[in-house]
Structure formats: structure tokens, C-alpha cells
Amino acid sequence: MGCHNGCKSCHAWGTLGSVKSLAPPSESPWQAPSATQAPAATPMAFVRAIALAYQRRGMAPERALAQAQIAPQLLQDEQARITAWQMEQVSDAAMQELDDEALGWFSRRLPWGSYGMLARASISSPTLRVALARWCRHHGLLTDDIALQLSTEGDTATLRITEARDLGALREFCLVSVLRNAHGLACWMVDSRIPLIAAEFAFDPPPHADAYAVLFRGPVTFHAPRTAIHFDARYLQLPLRRDEQALRQMLQHALPLTVLHYRRDRLLVQRVRQLLAAPLPGQPAHALPQHSAESLAALLHVSPRTLHRQLKEEGATLQGLKDDVRRTRAVELLHRTQRPIKQVAEAAGFENEKSFIRAFRGWTGQSPGEFRRVVRV
């Protein structure tokens, strides 16, 4: 059941460089970026971990380093960084030479094709929740050195790792890789960015901690009681948009599964609408926050330009969503309360009663007062 050309694609290191967005497999072929297309952002510590895996097997990493155009002397340079392309190359060579897609993390090897088998076992799932749960369960069949668990609490989904043994010097490389593997595969299966609410790591900040801002977009915490990523639980309800044919093509072309490759966020409209409707700290519960594109973009960890572009791709605009939220709040207050029109206008985010009446008439063809009288007849 192993993949045709192995499965380095399941190791999502591409976001450590500014790799260009990828089209879905059905649209256009993808070619690996050259070593000069992306900035050197991947910490050399991860390459040292690969070299250590070679050492433990009594083997030398020179061929893998040469394939990735990494000078051996750079392994000792704490400040050195490599590109995403170089990380893909050295990982690919090492997985084949060591016949271990886990690159030495676990007490037993994961032979070439293991992660492809996990992906195949999940691809027929009806939703992302089922797919990730299967992936976690089947991962435990490959190794019991770590256990993965998917859970939800309220609106937040959590994918956590429990360590069953001391992973030693390869601990960081293992935990980071497994989380990014699962996250990248999840994004690919639903063909959507899945923004992270937070990432937690049960180890001290490494010297290259600044790289985690690229590895895991969103707040990152070290010294945590557990290693986990958190994201909006609504993504778990999304249906899978890939099939067996897409999986075969992805594995054959060794497509790096990375979050940044997905321009589309299939829940972006819902997430923006939720932020527009949620009161800010210290505000009355019925008051709408006065968000700008800049403040919303900051909350979503994107640039204002990216926010507008992605909303457009989803057939929406920020102003249109603001109008939807304002109209919904105004209708609710007019229907369910006796608040004066002026207070309804303020609660719906309008500066004055006159602009509210004009906007409401444009939405409904009635003034707020006329609407209230009709719905209460």
C-alpha cells in the first residue's frame, strides 16, 4: 500500500520558505522551486537531526547533503538557515537512504511509503473529523512511541501529541514534523487553509524559536504542559475534496503539503462574520464592534490585502459582510425589544439615527419604525 514514489510529500516543510501558491492537482502541474526562489528560513538544527539519524545507523549523510546543496561545515553553524527546497531535498534523500520516513524519531523505522498508507486509509472519510481521527488512530499502529489525539472543546479543535518514551535529541524535530504533517495533510484533504488558533510545545524555546512564526502561523507557546495545535472546530465538518486519484497524483509528484500553498480558506466568510458580530471586551453584549480591515486582518493573522483577496475568492466583500451583520442585529432588536430607534442604530454600529434609517430602508424597503409595526401585527 506504499505510495508509488514514496511519501516525502507528507512532510510539510515547505512553509519554511516563501514557496509560491500551488494550484490543485487537476489544474496545472507543479514543479519544485529552485534553491534560489525562497529565502533561507529553515533552521540548520533540523538538518543536524537528520545527520544524527544517519550517525545512529552507522551511515554518512554526505550524499543527502550534496543533493540539497548543503555544505557539511554549515551543520555546526547555529545561525545557518536553508531554503524550503533544500529541506525537501535532504529529507527526500534521507528517507530513501535510511528507508525511514520518520527520519530516526522512533524506536522502529517507518519504511518508505508508511505515511502514504496513512493518507490512503483516511482519504475515503466523509469529513475532516473522521479523516483526522483515522489518521491519528492508524499512526498508532506504526509506532507507539507517541500517541496522537483529536478532540474538541466548545468551538476549538485540538490535535495533541502524548510522548510515551523519551525521544532524546530528535524530540523537537519529531514533534514539529508530526504536527505539521497532520496539519498539512488536513489542509490538502479539504483544499483549504486551516489557520491555527495556537500551537503549544512541551519544551524550552530553541535558539531558532523565531522560525516557529513561519512554521506555525499564530501564537506559539513553549514550556507548555502538552504539545498540540488548536484550530476552529468548524473545519472538522468540511467534506473531503480529494479522492484516490488526487491522492495518487499528489504522492507521485511529492507535492509538499503546506498551509501557505492554500490561498482559499473555506470558512473565512463565517470567521469574519463571527468576528464582526462578537462584542469587544468591555462593550455591551448587544453592541457590534467597529472593526476596520486592518483590525480584522490582525485577528485573522493575514494582511488586509490578503483578507480582501480571499473574501473576493469566496464571493464576498468586507462591506457586504458588515452590512449583513448590521442588518441581522437591527432586525433582531427591532423584532424582540422595545429599544428606541436611536439605540438600535447605535447597537447596529451606526454613528447616527439618520444613516441607520437610510441604510435600513435600502435593505428592506421600509423604515425601522414601519418594519417594527409590521412584524408585530
For 181-190, what is each residue's pLDDT tens digit?
Answer: 899 999 999 9
Show which of 261, 283, 302 is a domain's final residue: 261
Helix (H) or strand (E) holding 211: none
**Most confidently modeled of 87-96, 159-168, 298-307?**
159-168
353 vs 345: CA distance, rounded Å:
6
End-to-end CA distance of the chain: 67
What is the average pLDDT across 89-100? 93
144 and 110 both lie in a single domain: yes
DSSP 69-83: T--GGGGG-TT-EE-
Residue 127 inside a domain? The answer is yes
How far is 67 from 62, CA to CA, in rounded Å? 9
Q: How far is CA 6 from CA 119, 135, 197, 246, 253, in A?
A: 12, 18, 32, 15, 10
**pLDDT reported for residue 20:** 25
> Which residues in the chain belong to E strands, given as ranges?
42-43, 81-82, 146-153, 156-163, 196-200, 220-221, 227-232
Range of the domain at 21: 8-261
Considering the domain architecture, whether residues 235 and 311 belong to the same structural domain is answered as no
Asked if the structure places residue 3 within a domain, the reply is no
The reported pTM is: 0.74
How many C-beta atoms surround the C-beta of residue 20 within 10 A?
Answer: 10
* pLDDT score for 289: 82
Domain-terminating residue out of 211, 243, 261: 261
247 shares a domain with 294: no
Task: Answer yes or no: is 35 within a domain.
Answer: yes
In a domain, 314, yes or no: yes
Report the 10 Å Cβ neighbour count for 147.
Answer: 15
The top-scoring range by mean pLDDT among 149-153, 301-305, 352-356 is 149-153
Name the most confidently modeled range: 11-20, 88-97, 268-277: 88-97
pLDDT at 141 over 80: yes
Query: DSSP states of 22-57 as a string?
Result: PPPTTT----PPPTTSS---EEHHHHHHHHHHHHHT
Query: Does residue 66 lie in a domain region?
Result: yes
Question: Mean of the per-residue pLDDT values for the chain?
Answer: 84
- At 255 the pLDDT is 43
**Could you tell me if residue 364 is inside a domain?**
yes
Q: Which amino acid is at 351?
A: E
Same domain? For 236 and 336 the reply is no
Q: Label residue 193 by pLDDT band (50, 70, 90).
A: confident
Size (the chain), residues: 377
Question: What are φ and ψ of residue 267, in 5° steps?
Answer: -115, 10
Does 309 lie in the same domain as 230? no
Do 161 and 292 fall into the same domain? no
Q: Are residues 248 and 299 in the same domain?
A: no
CATH number at residue 321: 1.10.10.60
Query: 348 vs 247, 324, 326, 339, CA distance in Å?
Result: 47, 11, 5, 12
Same domain, 156 and 280: no
Number of domains in the chain: 2
Answer yes or no: is 2 within a domain.
no
Same domain, 225 and 286: no
Same domain, yes or no: 236 and 324: no
Residues 278 and 256 occupy one common structural domain = no
Q: Is residue 101 part of a domain?
A: yes
3-state secondary structure of 203: coil
Residues 158 and 307 grouped into a single domain: no
Residue where a domain terminates, one of 261, 279, 306: 261
How many Cα neighbours within 13 Å face the side chain of 7? Answer: 24
Please state, in angstroms and rounded to a whole number, the distance separating the CA atoms of residues 182 and 167.
Answer: 19
- Model pLDDT, residue 145: 98
Residue pLDDT, tens place only, 8-36:
444 444 433 322 222 233 333 333 334 34
